[in-house]
Amino acid sequence: PAADRAGRGTARRGILVRVTSACHTARRSCSGPAASDPLRVATAPRRVVPAGPWWRRMGLGQAAVLCRPSLKPTNERQKAVVAAFRHAWAGYRKFAWGHDELKPVSKSFSEWFGLGLTLIDALDTMWILGLKKEFEEARKWVSQRLLFQKNVDVNLFESTIRILGGLLSAFHLSGDVLFLKKAEDFGNRLMPAFQTPSKIPYSDVNIGTGVAHPPRWTSDSTVAEVTSIQLEFRELSRLTGVKKFQDAYMRYGGYLLLRCPPRVGAENRGEGGFSPVVSPIGAAASKERSPLCSPPCSLPCPPLPQEAVEEVTRRVHSLRGKKDGLVPISEPGKLTFVGELAHGRFSAKMDHLVCFLPGTLALGAHHGLPADHMELARALMDTCYQMNRQMETGLSPEIVHFNLHPQKSRKDVQVKAADRHNLLRPETVESLFYLYRLTGDRKYQDWGWELLRSFNTYTRVPSGGYSSISNVQDPRSPQPRDKMESFFLGETLKYLYLLFSDDPDLLSLDTYVFNTEAHPLPIWAPS
Ligand code: DMJ
């Protein structure tokens, strides 16, 4: 199975596309209404890219232009998120500065790519939370210490969503050209991954030597991995004017659209063959954006192309179909969940990773997909909340199994001993953010608040940082695992902060699209 490094596979999201913002124009002069409130640009002129070196085309000099104010929390819940972030950051700064991840209990760090992963993942969160001083200090590290010329294998998907996405987002929010230059350097180093016979990229690439290869344990790549990196490469092309980044994914994006069967998991043996093995949503096996794996990011919107609407509608429908539906209802509490189909057998198993789906369905409905997708989104959101709520710590385990038998004595949500851990993942709060933004129902904010309190009670390490835990069912001994994943700062706390905001124009969903690691990028008008 495709496994993300945090332990399991990753499901992904996405339909999106649209309108641009005036950010670049504003950045040139460091003045004017858009510059004074860059995250709240709700409507804006479309951007036309003039010719010339990219930094000049954008009206930028070589020097950094940190001219855009960041924001401040406006209510008590947002302040609590800022306090949590500061605590997490304090641990990282003290014990893991410049390293990939904090080990808060042993007061040390771990490396994955050796590229300051947490620091880069957290840049835009600091900007959004108004932590200017922390942002400046991190920027200095990026400027002086972040070097990509090193002999290290990086996973294409993970490094694209975290590093490339993080740098591009930091550039958009701050206007600082340093981040764009770093992004371009890094993007160039990822390019060898696309040199395959099928054009479907390899999963790993050495950013120093330029040698790319499939995962060590299989020759397959994962549909979701290779389709969830479109936003970042497209953005890099748009900002730099260098077409090769966009071309790299366009060459296989169309292929995936044409060939993507209703149920596809692992695929790509260099020649581009599919292995239809597992359900599209089951996160352990597929990271595909299905049912949204049609080409949301490469076709012009608005309006959403009819072809994409029909494709996605068909896929959601097939998910819910009576005969082989993957969305049954549990007993006795009647929770709607998404199960898995592996080698023809249904399993009532759902990863916490799948909890991105309510948010994505809601976003799709907002952008013109059928209204009943919103109903499904709400139902799945309730389920994800219950996956947390029914645990003694209030935090979801990594995987749950649902009970399908109508016996009152059994609980809806069951957990196996091996699945009781919580890695500080964002998916529940991510969907809560979308659901609140798109429905205005305050219960979603209240649910998020419960989650933040649980994180503070069971995962906060007094000396600094937060730790993943091994047992969400034992509040007396949740067993810290001594690891703070970079997405806790990059995603979980960012989504909580945005969830608690009552300002729909703060990173408006009509102006920005969040990549799969929660890095906001502007939505562009069709050219
Ligand atoms: C993050 O890296 C991203 O959200 C990814 O899409 C899935 N895995 C983690 C969070 O769970």
Give me the DSSP letters along 289-334: -TTS-S-TTTS--SSPPHHHHHHHHHHHHHHH-TTT-S--B-TTT-
Cα 46 to averaged position of ligand 1 atoms, centre (Å) = 31
Q: Which numbered atom of ligand 1 lies nearest the CA of 353?
A: 11
Do 233 and 167 touch, CB atoms closer than 8 A?
no
pTM beyond cutoff 0.75:
yes
Q: What is the pLDDT of residues 432-479, one digit of tens each?
A: 999 999 999 999 999 999 999 999 999 999 999 999 999 999 999 999
CA torsion, ordered 161, 166, 168, 170, to nearest 10 deg: 160
DSSP 330-359: -TTT--B---EEETTEEE-EEEGGGGGHHH
Top mutation candidate among 169, 491, 492, 494 for ligand 1, by most atoms within 8 Å of CB: 491
Query: Which pLDDT band, with edges at 50, 70 and 90, does 484 fall under?
Result: very high
Q: Are 293 and 256 in contact (CB under 8 A)?
A: yes
Phi, psi values for residue 329, rounded to 5°: -125, 135
Query: For residue 113, is pLDDT > 50?
Result: yes
Ligand 1 atom with the smallest distance to the CA of 287 is: 6
* Weakest-pLDDT range from 102-111, 213-222, 274-283: 274-283
- Whole-angstrom CA distances from 283 to 1, 71, 225, 289, 354 are 10, 35, 11, 10, 6
DSSP code of residue 192: G
Ligand 1 centroid, distance to 9 Cα (angstroms): 9
Cβ–Cβ under 8 Å, residues 233 and 249: yes
Residue whose Cα lies nearest atom 8 of ligand 1: it is 10
Which carries the bigger pLDDT value, residue 476 or residue 274? Answer: 476
- pLDDT value of position 9: 33
Which residue's CA is the nearest one to ligand 1's atom 7?
A: 10
Poorest-pLDDT segment among 171-180, 316-325, 431-440? 316-325
The 8-class DSSP code of residue 63 comes to S
No. of H helices and E strands in the chain? 19, 14
Residue 517: both structure tokens together: 């690691």
- Which amino acids bring their CB within 6 angstroms of ligand 1? 4, 6, 10, 12, 353, 425-426, 487, 491, 516-517
| Average pLDDT score, the chain | 81
Residue 32 Cα to ligand 1 midpoint, Å, equals: 36
Q: Where are the beta strands (DSSP E) in 337-463?
A: 340-342, 345-347, 349-351, 399-402, 413-414
Select from 161, 227, 287 the residue to mutate for testing ligand 1; criterion: most ligand atoms less than 8 Å from CB: 161
| Gap from CA of 519 to ligand 1 centroid (Å) | 12
Residue 255 CA to residue 516 CA, distance in Å, equals 22
**Alpha-carbon Rg for the chain in angstroms:** 22
**Residue 231 CA to ligand 1 centre (angstroms):** 15
Smallest CA separation from ligand 1 atom 4, residue: 517
Q: Which atom of ligand 1 is nearest to the CA of 486?
A: 2
516 is in an annotated binding site: yes
- Residues of the chain above pLDDT 90, percent: 62
In the three-class reduction of DSSP (H, G, I as helix; E, B as strand; rest coil), residue 184 is classed as: helix
Q: What are phi and psi of 515, to 5 degrees?
A: -75, 180
Query: Each residue of 329-343: pLDDT tens digit?
Result: 999 999 999 998 777
